[in-house]
Structure formats: C-alpha cells, structure tokens
Amino acid sequence: MKNRLLKIIHSIKENFKYSPFWQNRLISFLFSFSLISNLTLWILIIIKSRHTIIPFYKPISSSITYLIPYSQEIYLLPITGLFIFLINFILAYYLFRTEKFLSYLFLGQSLFIQIILIFTFIFYLIV
C-alpha cells in the first residue's frame, strides 16, 4: 500500500515537472517574477517592521497613532498576495491545455497584483 502511494505521488510529481506548462517561456517568466515580487514584499516588510515603527492609520486629529512594530496587520499584504498568486497559479495550470490565453491572463494578473502590493507598501511608508 505504501509503495503504491509513493508511486502515485512520484508519477504526479513527474507529470507536473515535465508538463508543457513549464516549457512555455511566457509562463515561466510570469510565474518567476510573480514569485520574486511576493518574496520581495515579504523581505521589505520584515526589514522595515524590525527597524521602524510603522504608522497604521492617521486619525482626523493631528497626532498619528502608532502601533507596535511587530503588529500582524502589516503581514496581510504579502499573505493576500501569496493567496492570490496560488489561486491564479492553480487556475492557470489547469487551464493551460485548453485555454493558453487565460493562463497568461491569470499569471499576468498575479504579477500585476504583486507589483501593486509592493507599491502599496511603499506608499504606505511614505504617507
């Protein structure tokens, strides 16, 4: 039973690894840069949250309310980006054989959202 399960897992891994999905250069480019963008967002947030106090909101009054630098709210940006990336990747992978354009669209959307999240974090620190 255990050997059979290992064979099934191995065949799934080999089919995934040598799929025509990964042979497409645009797919590889979009996937790689989406993943790199999400990792960049994680790194930026970890570096900035350790060295500075990040303002989370500005009330109408003149004082700025600061929360502790290790607040979990700031980590919602990369978690959201990672969730969107995984959903779009799964959809792109399963739609690649029938609709290549939709695969490109899903992965392109994922990259676009990652870039928007990075700019959101940078804008958030500036303002």
User: If you search the block for the tokens 């990075």, which residue do you land on?
Assistant: 118
Q: Which amino acid is at 96?
A: F
65 bridge partner residues: 57
* Cα–Cα distance measured from residue 122 to residue 105, given in angstroms and rounded to the nearest whole number: 26
To 10 degrees, what angle do helices 100-126 and 76-95 make?
A: 170
Q: What percent of the chain has pLDDT over 70?
A: 77
Q: For the chain, list residues with pLDDT below 70.
A: 1-2, 8, 12, 16, 50-72, 127
Per-residue model confidence (pLDDT) at position 102: 93
